[in-house]
């Protein structure tokens, strides 16, 4: 029986790895798509940030009565920023507001009346800064001006304290972890910071890649053969239907794993852009390593997971009349799997118990543990066994459908 | 010897209580001896293809059975398939591969050794004059070449019983002759050949015995002379039309 399955598998693999179009979709595209996508996103984002920071912000300032002297102080704090100051008069107030709305001016700062006196008498006063939250340049200028004015505020407070004959230390009650560099106090295992980031992202990507690649090959495997009329000639030969199902399932599983490996390599290349989107950690993905045990644990969870996903795709492919119908049927399943992946992405360190006992979910949770190097063997074996049991159930259903002429020939 | 005994196939249209039952084949019995070509004749929808699909194990009969020696189609599906070569016009080959590759592949699926496959390939390629295109992708072949390839593949395991549904349908006159000559040679070699057709000229030339199937029921059976002698008509085509045309003797 298994020898027949391998004969079927060999043909499916020959098709898969010699058909240039399929090979491109399965191996080359995931390899180049992720680095291209993330480097494009990274470069675009950096270019935008650089453009915004180099932009000369136009700031309109209205200095009211009694604020002439202190206005000079605050304007001096803006000198280091890339700004163009426009002094406006009281009668130009509405024009200045409109200019901010129209994005002709980034900010409109109204210096409060009597600010000089407020400063002298140590009384609180309120700045009014009009900005436009839908304009990136205005947002950036707003944050820069807030920082600059806060610096002036701190300098004024310091001067007041010193003038009162007090020590500057009165401003600070205590500090935390200030004696040595921050890394000294972080007792996480070496590489586990990156492990945490990887454990958050990778299980999701793995399940999505396994599913997407299974679909690329799996839907065509039976539904495509039905559609082209090539399945019947196989069924009238001396091969059992179980051998056909197993041969096809193995081919879909190999496609899923090959595609996932290719995607993982692409992901590693793209990781420096991706990691920077999730963390400001100084560790890089290249510093993260998995030991032999972790790699073995990874393999015994991922291979049964690939078998489960391939079997799931094969059930749909067998039931569907043609590839188009199969695509329509598999989409809700794909979305459900995506939601499951996203749910585990948001998990804390202790996932709920129901996730540990639910097939597919438990594989994702255990993969997280493996990347964090905290996986328990009991959980690994449980995930592996449940994946294989569900896959066996799905293969049984596929086999039933293969023996049902109403499903196979839609008669 | 192939024996079909009381074979029926019922299809149900719809679901539940409103489902309607339709018999595509009803209580069909016939038998064929080695060296014989049996023609199953009938208009479209007569039940020819359904009968042949039951014999190929693609679908299960609702009642009755078919036997090749001591094996029956219901209980010994895999052994039954090893004894038949089945081809129907709606069976297509994977166009990505070459005839040579597909012959090897189907040979392996039929548990044949490499040297036996090679001998069988050489014979079939020569008999069907396929040598010019055995290394071309099936997608690139003409209809006739594809049909020859399908014939060769269905017979790679040298089956005792050859079951072809409309084997010359859509073929040009040259390929059609090649296929019919080949079938005649197989019968001469002691094989049982069953074909379905509605082409009376081919049927008369090719078949030793005939069964006329109308609405799933066998209306006439026998050699050409037996069928004509038992009717008021002078040829097979007229007998056939007497069953299906309005105003015909048996309509």
> Taking CA atoms, what residue in A is nearest to B22?
A411
In terms of domains, do A107 and A235 share one? no
In terms of domains, do A196 and A157 share one? no
* Phi-psi map region of B247: left, alpha, beta (phi>0 left; psi -120 to 50 alpha): left
Residue A186 domain flag: no
Residue A180 domain flag: no
Q: What is the reported pLDDT for A281?
A: 52
In terms of domains, do A313 and A286 share one? yes
**B59 contacts A409? CB cut-off 8 A:** yes
Rounded mean pLDDT of A300-310? 93
What domains lie within chain B, and their CATH numbers? 2-218 (3.40.50.300)
pLDDT digits (tens, 9 = 90+) for A123-173: 898 989 999 999 989 999 999 999 999 999 999 988 888 888 888 788 888
Rounded mean pLDDT of B66-71? 92
Q: Cβ of B97 under 8 Å from any chain A Cβ? A: yes
C-alpha span between A338 and A332 (Å, rounded): 10
Q: What is the reported pLDDT for A341?
A: 86
In terms of domains, do A32 and A61 share one? no
- The CATH number given to whatever domain includes residue A162 is 3.40.1710.10
pLDDT digits (tens, 9 = 90+) for A57-91: 999 999 888 888 888 888 888 888 888 999 999 89
B12 to chain A nearest CA, in Å?
9
In terms of domains, do A196 and A163 share one? no
In terms of domains, do A132 and A222 share one? no
Domain that holds residue A303: 2-43+191-409
Residue A277 has pLDDT above 60, yes or no: no
Q: What is the reported pLDDT for A264?
A: 77
User: What are the start-end ranges of the H helices in A56-165?
Assistant: 68-77, 93-101, 115-120, 136-163
Rounded mean pLDDT of A380-387? 95
C-alpha span between B112 and A143 (Å, rounded): 79
Find how far residue A39's CA is from the centre of its chain: 14
B 38-77 residues with CB < 8 A to A: 56-60
Rounded mean pLDDT of B170-178? 85
CA-angle at B57, arms to B55 and B60, nearest 5°: 95
Residue A308 domain flag: yes
**A235 contacts B109? CB cut-off 8 A:** no
The three-state secondary structure class of A282 is coil
In terms of domains, do A196 and A334 share one? yes
A155-to-A78, A124, A150, A162, A350 alpha-carbon distances in Å: 14, 15, 9, 11, 47
Provide the domain count of chain A.
2
Q: Cβ of B139 under 8 Å from any chain A Cβ? A: no
Q: What is the reported pLDDT for A305?
A: 93
Q: ipTM of the predicted structure?
A: 0.88
In terms of domains, do A218 and A333 share one? yes
Residue A267 domain flag: yes
A225 to chain B nearest CA, in Å?
8
In terms of domains, do A158 and A196 share one? no
The three-state secondary structure class of A59 is strand
């Amino acid at each position: 029986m298994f020898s027949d399955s391998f004969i079927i598998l060999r043909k499916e693999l020959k098709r898969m790895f010699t058909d240039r179009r399929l090979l491109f979709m399965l191996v080359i595209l995931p390899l180049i798509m992720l680095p291209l996508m993330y480097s494009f996103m990274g470069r675009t984002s950096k270019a935008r940030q650089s453009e915004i920071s180099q932009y000369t912000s136009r700031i309109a300032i209205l200095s009211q009565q009694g604020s002439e002297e202190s206005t000079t102080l605050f304007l001096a704090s803006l000198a280091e920023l890339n700004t163009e100051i426009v002094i406006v008069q009281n009668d130009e107030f509405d024009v200045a507001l409109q200019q901010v709305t129209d994005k002709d001016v980034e900010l409109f700062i109204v210096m409060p009346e009597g600010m000089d006196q407020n400063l002298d008498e140590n009384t609180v006063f309120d700045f009014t800064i009009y900005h436009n939250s839908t304009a990136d340049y205005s947002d950036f200028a707003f944050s820069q001006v807030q920082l600059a004015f806060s610096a002036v505020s701190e300098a004024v407070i310091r001067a007041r304290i010193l003038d009162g004959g007090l020590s500057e230390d009165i401003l600070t009650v205590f500090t935390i972890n200030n004696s040595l560099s921050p890394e000294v106090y972080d007792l996480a295992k070496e590489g586990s910071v990156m492990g945490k980031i990887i454990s958050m992202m990778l299980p999701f990507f793995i399940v999505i890649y396994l599913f997407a690649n299974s679909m690329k090959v799996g839907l065509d495997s039976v539904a495509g053969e039905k559609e082209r009329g090539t399945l019947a000639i196989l069924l009238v030969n001396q091969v059992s239907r179980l051998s056909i199902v197993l041969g096809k399932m193995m081919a879909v599983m190999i496609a899923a794993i090959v595609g996932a490996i290719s995607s993982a390599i692409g992901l590693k290349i793209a990781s420096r852009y991706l990691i920077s989107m999730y963390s400001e950690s100084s560790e890089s993905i290249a510093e993260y390593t998995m030991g032999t045990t972790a790699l073995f644990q990874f393999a015994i969870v991922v291979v049964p997971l690939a078998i489960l996903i391939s079997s799931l795709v094969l059930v749909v492919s067998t039931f569907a009349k043609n590839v188009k119908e199969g695509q329509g049927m598999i989409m809700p399943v794909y979305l459900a799997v995506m939601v499951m992946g996203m749910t585990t992405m948001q998990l804390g360190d202790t996932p709920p118990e129901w996730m540990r006992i639910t097939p597919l979910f438990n594989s994702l949770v255990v993969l997280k543990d493996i990347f964090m190097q905290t996986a328990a063997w009991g959980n690994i074996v449980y995930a592996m066994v449940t994946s294989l049991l569900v896959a066996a159930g799905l293969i049984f259903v596929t086999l039933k459908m293969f023996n049902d002429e109403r499903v196979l020939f839609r008669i | 010897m192939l024996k079909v005994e009381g074979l029926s196939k019922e299809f149900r249209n719809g679901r539940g209580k409103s489902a309607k039952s339709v018999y595509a084949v009803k209580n069909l019995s016939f038998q064929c001896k080695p060296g014989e070509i049996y023609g199953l004749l009938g208009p479209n929808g007569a039940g020819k293809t359904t009968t042949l699909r039951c014999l190929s194990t693609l679908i299960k009969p609702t009642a009755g059975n078919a036997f090749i020696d001591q094996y029956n189609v219901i209980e010994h599906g895999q052994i039954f398939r090893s004894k038949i070569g089945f081809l129907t016009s709606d069976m297509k080959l994977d166009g990505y591969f070459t005839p040579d590759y597909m012959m090897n592949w189907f040979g392996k699926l039929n548990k044949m050794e490499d040297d036996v496959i090679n001998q069988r390939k050489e014979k079939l390629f020569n008999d069907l004059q396929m040598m010019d295109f055995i290394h071309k992708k099936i997608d690139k072949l003409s209809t006739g070449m594809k049909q020859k390839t399908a014939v060769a593949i269905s017979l790679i395991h040298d089956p005792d019983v050859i079951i072809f549904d409309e084997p010359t349908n859509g073929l040009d006159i040259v390929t059609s002759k090649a296929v019919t000559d080949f079938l005649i040679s197989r019968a001469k070699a002691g094989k049982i050949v069953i074909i379905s057709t509605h082409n009376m000229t081919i049927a008369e030339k090719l078949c030793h015995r005939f069964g006329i199937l109308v609405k799933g029921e066998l209306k006439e059976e026998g050699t050409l002379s037996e069928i004509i002698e038992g009717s008021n008509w002078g040829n097979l085509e007229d007998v056939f039309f007497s069953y299906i045309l309005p105003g015909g003797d048996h309509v």
